[in-house]
Amino acid sequence: MTDTAKPRARRHNVGEFVASGDWSDYWTTAISRAGEGRILVRGYPVEEIIERLSYTEAAFLVLRGELPDAREAAIFDLVLRSSVDQQFISAAVGAARFTASAFPDSPVPALASGMLASGSVTGSPQEPAEMLMEAVAWKLPQREACARVAELWAGRRGRVPGFGHPLHKTAEPRVVALRRAALALDGWGAHGRMLDVLEACLSETKGRKIPANLAGAQGAVLADLGFDPLIIGGLGALGYGMALLAHISEEIRDGVPLRIIPDALGARYDGPAERHIPERRTQR
């Protein structure tokens, strides 16, 4: 297809390609185009991206398809740098360091392990973003929205995503800073306000403070920026990637090769006591 050709409706069923025998648009992308001596990313020459954009601006362009304005770039950068490390609290760190202790030749396998451990339990902002987008779209009074969120997510997950932390019981310091900075940038919008409402309602219902965690705050700010929940989930893992890389290099250079979990560090067997398989009589 030439640059001036009008794109046809995209086909999403492989059976359509098989039936027609036409595979000309089986692989299509709106992200970039590469040819001899020429690379365009979202329509912009790659040389201009390298020379004129910051890393944050280039990442926004690749993900959203358009350049951010100054406010959007500042808010996006704020979210990306909010995922600084918190020692060994994240399970992603343990996964990465265990892999690094067994494979010290390259940081890449360990980095992949850490990324794979960045899920809903470890603190991905994807589910909080989905929850907040859904709640905002209802356009309900605050108490009704809170009750509906609690009921729906109790059935789906047994909990409301984006709240609670194993260490920070009254306030997550990264959330406090992220919210304050986002407010100053006019980046704490409808989804951020919904997070505040849910935090207050959940604490009132439970009779104790249940603070929003970083996944909830990141999900709120990125949803207010208009990102898709799938992208938001990926950004949660990528944002923590630098901390993982720091842990991985530390493990390879200064750690313990082939880490184990001995009894002294919590390993505990609770299966059957020692037993033996009866001897079988030989067949005559």
Model pLDDT for residues 179-237, shown as the tens digit of each residue? 999 999 999 999 999 999 999 998 888 888 889 999 999 999 999 999 999 999 999 99
The per-residue pLDDT for range 95-136, each reduced to its tens digit, is 999 999 999 999 999 999 999 988 777 778 999 999 999 999
Where b means 16+ CB within 10 Å and e means fewer, 158-177 reads eebbbbbbeebeeebebbee
Task: Name beta bridge partners: 32.
Answer: 41
Alpha carbon separation from 41 to 61, 144, 160, 274 (Å, rounded): 8, 44, 38, 63
Provide, rounded to the nearest whole percent, the portion of the chain with pLDDT above 90: 69
The per-residue pLDDT for range 227-239, each reduced to its tens digit, is 999 999 999 999 8
Second-level CATH architecture of 69-258? Orthogonal Bundle (1.10)
Neighbours of 59 (CB within 10 A): 18
Does residue 257 have a pLDDT over 50? yes
Count CA within 13 A, CB hemisphere, residue 163. Answer: 26
How many residues are present in the chain? 284
Q: How far is the C-alpha of 213 from the C-alpha of 169, rounded, in Å?
A: 10
Angle, CA 237 vertex, CA 100 and CA 106 arms, to 5°: 25
Q: Give the residue ranges of DSSP H helices in 21-167.
A: 46-52, 55-64, 70-81, 91-102, 108-116, 126-138, 142-156
Tell me the whole-structure pTM to 2 decimals.
0.88
The per-residue pLDDT for range 7-54, each reduced to its tens digit, is 567 778 899 899 999 998 889 899 999 999 999 999 999 999 999 999
Q: Looking at residue 87, what is its pLDDT?
A: 80
User: CATH 1.10.230.10 in the chain, residues?
Assistant: 69-258
Which residue bears the tokens 């509906």? 148
| Residue 176 in tokens | 């406090």
Q: How far is the C-alpha of 121 from the C-alpha of 53, rounded, in Å?
A: 35
Strand 32-35 and strand 44-45: the pairing is unpaired
pLDDT band at 172 (very low <50, low <70, confident <90, very high): confident
Q: How far is the C-alpha of 20 from the C-alpha of 18, rounded, in Å?
A: 6
Task: Name beta bridge partners: 41.
Answer: 32, 44
Helix (H) or strand (E) holding 8: none
